[in-house]
Structure 1
Amino acid sequence: MDYLKRYKQKVKLKTFEVDSSVLHISGGRHGQGFPLRSGEGFMAENGEALARPDSDRRGIVLEQNVIGVLGEEVYLRCIYTGKGMIFFASWNRVNSTSKSIKMAGYNSFSPNKTFSKESFSTPASGTNLTVKVGIVRLDMEGQYTCGFNTDEDEVKESLFLTVIARPKVTTHVEEDIVNGTHYQTVSCSAINAKPVAHISWEIRGVPPNPDIFSIHSSTLMHPNGTGSVFSELRFPILLNNESRVSCVVQHPALTQPGVTDIMVQTFVSPTVTMEMELKQKEGKDFHLVLCTATGGRPQPDISWILPTSARAQPSLKPDMGSESVASSQWFPSDLHEGENVTCIFGYPLLPVLHTRTVTLPTYYIGSLQLKKRKAIDLLRLEEGDIDVFISMEVTGNVPSYEINCTKEGGPMPNEVNVTGSDILIKGPVGFNLSGQYQCQASYYRHTAFLQLGIEVNPRVPLPASFPPNISVNLRKEDANVYVECLASDASPAANVTWVLPQDLNGGIQSNISSSNGSHTVQSILALPACLPREMTVECVVEHLDLADPERRQIVLPTCVPVNVTLQNSTVWENGIAYTQVNCSADSMPPSSTIAWHTENCRSGINASETSDVARQSGTLQDNDVGVWSTARLSVRAYAGCTVICVLEHHEREQKSIHFPSLGPPSVHMKVGPLRDSEFWAAVCEYRGDGLVPSIYWVISDRNTTTTPVSVQPAFEGVTVLVSSTYEFELSRHEGKNVTCLIRTAYGIEERRTVKVPRYFISSIVVLNQTSPLRGNHGQHTAVNRIALQEALPHQKIVFRVSGNTPTFNIRCFRVDGSAAHTVSLALVFAEPVSEQDAGLYTCHASWYHHKATVFVQVDVTSKESQTMTFILICFTSATAITLFLFITLCMLCKRSGESPSPNKGRKQRESLAGLMQTPCSPELGKATLPVGKGPEYAELVRYSIVIDEKSTV
């Protein structure tokens, strides 16, 4: 039962139904049941096959239930675990007529061994029939058999392939209006799926509110075994405040539910307006009240609250293609004065959203009177006058009115007509026009009356008269402007008056002069010379011979605005910075003066401060009405001050400029080698405001101050940049302090000190494998011996330099003094090495006065010489070993055949020593013997050392 225990750990078993042939498990993948044949194994929840209890006995391992997705690929796994020799193996499909069709397999007698058809891939081998199948049709669902023909038996197993199809999801949004309510319907379809998909709706991850949203779903099955599901989400727009809904499709072929977001309309409050306008309709005055709602979604309904006696008119319906809806009502202007009209914007499912109210105007007529003759109720006319106009005016707020007149309760004479608000007497005027007249101004029920009496007097002959000559002149004197109006040579004398703006006051002087029966009237208007804005005065001349008064207008000149300019610039003189401030004012007389003041400053600007201030004043050369003044101020003395230029004239004007405070100077110093030079340099850079300093150099070993160094300053406004360079040899000041001393004329002193580093190069060594070179007496020399391979190019001898210098140069020379080729830290033999490259090389590592030297002996070896050396060494070593063994054997044999006489043994050893004598150092024979060893051991040691030395030559 171990296999059942393992299966329970992977699959939740909900229901077991067991009979003699089939074990059915409910609760598999996606809640579906999978048939499992008795004795053929189990399927885990993830689709993996569990071990069958008889898999080893039957000899086949395969998955018995496989799910494939239409349009994708699936693996049918079948592995033979038996021991028989396989001749033929195949996948067979069992069709509806129980006929077996070979789809793929293995044939040991075929040249190609494996075969396949349709969308089956070829198997891997005869024992592994696992194939990849492309699911291209729904009818590929069915039973498939995996069989193996061996030399012992034929075994086969079956599986069932279930084909499912993913749904195709589509969405659509529609709008409609039902009973005045604007609805939106969102459709979501999952079509041609096997099995049928499931559709649900979500808004922000939760199901829709059923009080607002309604859902309707339907399913349609197709003959090919697939099905389509359709779902609609419907809601009124005015109750929706979410702009996105989600259609969630669940299906076994989907690894996770498919979510499709659909954008929908939300409720948007409209912008409402209410307007009233007076219009004419059928010859009568009406007030048109228009209510408009713009940008609402959905569009609102518009209703009215009207005056009690008003009759409602049809309202405009919303237009689905427009962004606004409007409704209007007409009201007679005389029936609903002062009454309120209210416009209501709302929706059937919501309370009132917006209201707007307008009050219809109330009209009145205050009076009807004569223009410019308010206190006169009797009008006198002369007999024979023609085209006499009597003008009336109506006070009140009525939009229009009508004037009708009667004479003494009867109709008006034929010579008298009422035109608009004027009474026109065409004339000539007769005595029949005398009498009492009554005129009435009316606007519906609003009226006003005017009583007017007309008296016609007989014409009296007048003496001869002639009109005046009229002229107007303007002249300017000092602070005044004089306007002269002259009506000359008239009879009788003309009447001259002035019409002035309300805010203009002036003096008027008039006089009359006569000559030869004619009269001249002179009237002079005196005004200030400087006016703040452009104004117009009018001279009115009235005379009997003038039908209308003659009017002459003249535009008075305005004051030219005073333009005060304040400019500043920087001037350097004797190493001190000055700010030159120039204040000028044009359009002013030379009598105007310019004064200077200061704020937030320790002192003012006066002539006594000659060291810090220089002033000049004058008039503008190109303008006879302008003044200027210049002040030159020390930047350091007036730092942080505000300098004010004050213009004194009939008005006081001023402009100011602020002198910024000066910050502390900055000094930077650095020491380093000069480029392309053997010298070092100390550079001192000064940046400050207002003063050019003096720079001195102080060296620590001297402890004295040098004379000032002449520098060329660079100016940036009030800022000066000064740089001084002190050049020296590194060997003179290495490890010492170099100080830059800066002094200004005001006693300010700055110091910066930098220590010159102390450097060294301790050694230069060779990194290649070397051997020491011995002198004539065997001592080691300071020469490094290196062997190079003959005829091989690009060989290098690499060095390492010890020291603290930032950089160094390595140069190598041959014995003859010629320079060798070096690159970076290596002596390079770029060409193939020959015997000419052998010899002693001297290499230096140097930086300024620091240097280290190494000697290199270069030997050139060839492959032939190395081979001969190897053969010689091998031959010599073999000969030496043979001779040593022969002598040892002889000594042992002779020693065993004779008596051990000490004298005779000593003689034999001496004779052998004479034969084996070598030119070794005599000290070698004096080596200390190991404890417990006799003289024979010393002799053997001597011989071995001699042989070793010969073998190494």
Structure 2
Amino acid sequence: MGPLALMAAGFLLSQALSSDMHDVEERNVTATLGEDVYLPCLYTGNPNDTVFTGTWRRSGSQKKLVVHYGMKVRATHGFSLPASIHNLTVRMQVRTVEAEGSYTCEFNTLDGFVMHQVSLTVLVQPEVTIQVMEEIENNTHYQTVSCLAANTKPAPEISWEVNGGAPSEAVFAAQTQSTRHGNGTLDLTSTLRFPTRLNDESAVVCVVEHPTLAEPRRTTALVQTFVAPDVTMETGLMVVPAAVGPGEYGGRGGRRGEMRAMRVVNCTATGGRPQAQIAWILPEGENTLPSETMTTSDDDDDDDDDGTLVSSVMIPEGQHEGGNVTCVVSHPKLTNSATRTFTLPTYYLSSVRLFSVSVNASTREDVAVDIEDSAVESVFVEEGEAGMAFSMEVQGTAPTYRTECTKDGSSLPDGVELVNGVLSFRGPAAVRYTGLYECNASFYKHITSAHLNVTVNPGIRTPVAPSVAVKTWTELDSVIIKCVATDAVPAPNISWSLPPGLTGEMVQKTSLSPNGSVCASSTLSLPTCLSEEHTVSCLVGHQLFEDPERREIVLPACARPNITVQSSTVWHGGLALAKLECRVESVRPRAAISWHMEEKGKDHTDAGGGAVEELQGVEEDLAEGGGEQGVEVLMEVVQLPLVEYQGKSVVCAVRHPSLLEPERRAVQLQATAPPEIHVLLKESHNSSVLRAVCEYSSEAENASLAWLLPGNRTAAAVGVASTSYAMEGSKVTTSAVYEFTLAAHEGSDLTCLIRPTRGPEQRRVVPVPQYYISSMKVMNDTTCERREGIAVCRLALQEHLTYQTILLQVSGNVPGSQITCSRTDGSAVPVVREISPLTGALVFPGAVTSSMAAGQYLCRASFHHHTASVYIQVEVASEEAQHLAFVSICFSSAVAISVLLVIALCVFCKRHSSEKKRRKKRESIATLTSLMHDPRSPELKKAALPGVKSQQYAELVSIVLIEKTNV
């Protein structure tokens, strides 16, 4: 019945409470973030009703936001005070989105509680930003306008306007993307993307509609628009200096001989936005690069890139006659590129004419000679007559032309020159002027020419013997000897006499002086450096000499080169290399160095039959000798791996013109000792780790080392391995150290893996022993017992004696151990000294006192994770205590003996008295037995002692007897 009663009481209570609660009125209120909102609440009952309290709170929360107690009103921050207890309408500051929710207004009256519920919805006005971005995709310029409505609630509507209407779907592509935040707001982004060349409007408008906005918010973004340029082409001529020097091109009147005509073609793109691109199609074979200049708009406030672009090309006039020069303008607004073409003009040269003019006057004389076209006109003069000159006149349309005159197909002789279109013969006339002269006028492929045959009749002259001179100098790697015969009539003959085996290059030259004499010269070029001394003779023959005139020149032998060979050892990539340097100091020319192997007295290119590879060559110029006889320094280096070439002989061969045979220098490479490998296990007494060390020492190559652990693991993977290198001279030592605890690999094998740079792989194994410590013993006279598996020993120290020791011995196969002792009470510990690896001593160096030494000690022997312990109970005894103990022992022993004797006597006496008592007892028992039959009459048996029953009395008598018997 108990649970049913509780259910009934709960039901009645709920009915009573529900009878006090009125219906809850609900209202919806909307607010904008950052503004104030009124939460309405009026008491709807009788105005005369008594309202005790009025409160506001958030639904689901017990915290009261506004409380009205009649005369006392209180409101939390953000809420205003209500007008009265019957009008609880309050103004609320909406500062966060989290203010959204349900709020309850409650009136407490005599009739119960009246509640009103207000549902608050918070709207967040969007923050609108707009951004324009540009990108180029597949050579097409695109613009993307992003309109962002940030931190808004609810989601707004974003649309676009272009030129007052919706954008065309054929040009514009719009996309919308939203991102929601945890507080209920969101970001809505709308992007409008379009190719710039298809858009003709300079602005787009983003329209955002939202419940918090009275009117749609319109944001304008300025975008780029493209404008097609106007393309024009113009051309003209420009005269520039000729690049090949004066006299290449000649002009009418002789005033344009150093100038050159260039055709300039300009292509202009005006008003294009963005800037256009200009390319050229030039005639075939023309590689002239265009030069571009850009002129921007004069309006500084206009940011549009709609300036003027000018591109120019310069083509030599007449180089591509009749060819087309095309300008190609590309622009995004042009479906097809705009082209402009200019056709280069064609020219011709019809004829060239020679007119005789005065040498000393710039004006032309009456026509004495008129040579036209290809006709050959002859001019005869006597030797010694005054000079003459001929002017060239070219007919044709070429803007410029080049003039050139030759004599007999070669250059003009001394005294004849072509200057500004005038061929001048400086007088008096000489025999050397005789010959056929051809004067050409050319403009690229157009050529016209005129010919003049000049004959100078020589006069009669007396023979004159020449003056002979010899000059010697050095040029680079050659010595030049020049033999000259001057002022000779007629011309002399020059020849050379060379020793056998010596050859040189000879150049002959003859010239005629203004006085009619002949100057002849012969130049001989020979090597500067000779292996031996030679004598060279110059022979000059003339009709006035019976025998040729001889001039001898002695050429000394070159100094032999100074050769130095050095050997050293270098390391590269873990390999020892024999570095051989062959340094040669020689006079010019530079020596040649080569390397080869020498084995068993025979020359070989190398051990394998091929040439030794030259690894490095270094050349240095030594500033020595500074004059004609300079010094050349050459050093060549070869590096050979010692592991392959040890013990072999390497030869440096030097070739130089001063040497009849190559000079040789041999270097014997040192034979290296075989590598040394050491593997060991280092044990540490004072450390908790062991060190496995693997060392590889070699003079020829390095090696990589690694420790392999059980289970196919590497020590490097465990993370406690280290590698070090040590260099001593030419020997390198590599060490790999693996540190580990004994417990990790006890009883296992560790393997060192050795990989030399070139040699085969090797392995070395080091075993890790299996250790144990069986026990720890006290070697002094003591008594020991085991308690719970631990040995406890007792010993006594003598008071006031110094340097008393307790010897400790460790049993086991460990190589050593660390012995430590401590007091169990935590007081100071005497000195623990190591006597041997397995023996230690607990030393009391001072005078022993009971307070200092007495107590219990725990001594422990450890080797890595192997341990053994022993407890030692130390007592300190004085001499008086020892004497007293001795007396006590003796007195105790005497007392004990006396007691034993007394006990033995007592036993003996007791045995004798016992026999007597036994006989007497039997007699008394017989008497008592008769008494126990109770000879009383039946009447007396029934009579009782006063206060005692008869039966009880009988029992009492027997018990007393028994007790007496026992006593």
Structure 1 length-normalised TM: 0.36
Q: Which has the higher contact order (CA 8 A, sep 6+)?
A: 2
Larger radius of gyration: 2
